[in-house]
């Protein structure tokens, strides 16, 4: 009887919906060739943004996020470590130098 009640609370449609949502998320695409050009353009734009508004920590935190995304796609462990270090130094630590209590910088640093 309890299993029927639990089943009614979570219909199969929920599982199907979350699977469809997971398949539509960009991080599930593991083809490196597809991601690299977009990531390169994103890095260029974010670096321009950091030079344009030096008092805004958000572009630095976004840089950290992009480097973490690259690290997650990197096939080699050495490349991963280097990208994580770059995310910390050029991204999250730089955001915290601009504003020491910036939440995205603190969270990014903790996650890496």
CATH number, domain of 77, equals: 1.25.40.10
Q: Is residue 7 part of a domain?
A: no
Assigned domain for 70 exists: yes
- Residue 63 domain-assigned? yes
Number of domains, the chain: 1
Name the one residue in this structure whose structure tokens are 């805004």.
56
* pLDDT, tens only, 59-106: 999 999 999 999 999 999 999 999 999 999 999 999 999 999 999 999
| Sequence-ordered list of residues with C-beta below 8 angstroms from that of 61, at least 6 positions apart, any chain | 91, 92, 95, 102, 104, 105, 108
Residue range(s) defining the domain that contains residue 61: 27-111
The label of the residue with tokens 């309890």 reads: 2
**pLDDT tens column, 21-71:** 433 333 333 334 335 678 788 888 998 898 888 899 999 999 999 999 999
Q: Is residue 31 part of a domain?
A: yes
Give CA–CA dist 105/61, Å, rounded. 6
d(CA 30, CA 74): 10
In a domain, 37, yes or no: yes
Residue 22 lies in a domain: no
Judge whether 85 lies within some domain. yes
């Amino acid at each position: 009887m309890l299993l029927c009640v639990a089943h009614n609370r979570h219909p199969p449609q929920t599982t199907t919906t979350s699977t469809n949502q997971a398949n539509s998320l960009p991080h599930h695409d593991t083809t490196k060739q597809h991601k690299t050009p977009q990531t390169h353009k994103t890095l260029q734009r974010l670096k321009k943004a950091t030079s344009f508004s030096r008092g805004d920590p958000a572009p630095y935190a976004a840089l950290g996020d992009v480097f973490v995304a690259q690290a997650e796609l990197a096939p080699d462990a050495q490349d991963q470590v280097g990208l994580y270090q770059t995310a910390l130094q050029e991204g999250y630590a730089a955001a915290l130098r601009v504003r020491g209590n910036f939440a995205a910088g603190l969270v990014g640093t903790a996650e890496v």
